[in-house]
Amino acid sequence: MDLREFKGKEVVIKIDYAICGGAGECADVCPSDVFEIIEGKAAATNVDECIECCSCVEVCPVDAILHSSCD
């Protein structure tokens, strides 16, 4: 596990860089453009735009995303 933490004012998103494949499913599904793909890994660079819909957690094929508002 290689968790990278993206901490916003109300939300924390952690992404396991050991398993993120970087295909960008999270970026495609996110309605708030929270994610970008940097050097082949997802980065939640706009975490403060998150509306806590949990779609990114659900769509990730390898369960690499841990979200403070989503189980």
Tell me, what DSSP letter sits at residue 49?
G
Q: For ligand SF4, which residue of 22, 48, 66, 68 counts as binding (CB under 6 A)?
A: 22
User: What is the Cα gyration radius of the chain?
Assistant: 10
What residues contact 18, with CB distance under 8 A and at least 6 apart? 1, 2
- Does 43 contact ligand SF4 by CB under 6 A? no
- Does 64 contact ligand SF4 by CB under 6 A? yes
Instruction: Please report, as ranges, the residues that interact with ligand SF4 according to CB under 6 A.
Output: 15, 20-26, 29-32, 34, 42, 50-56, 59-60, 62, 64-65, 67
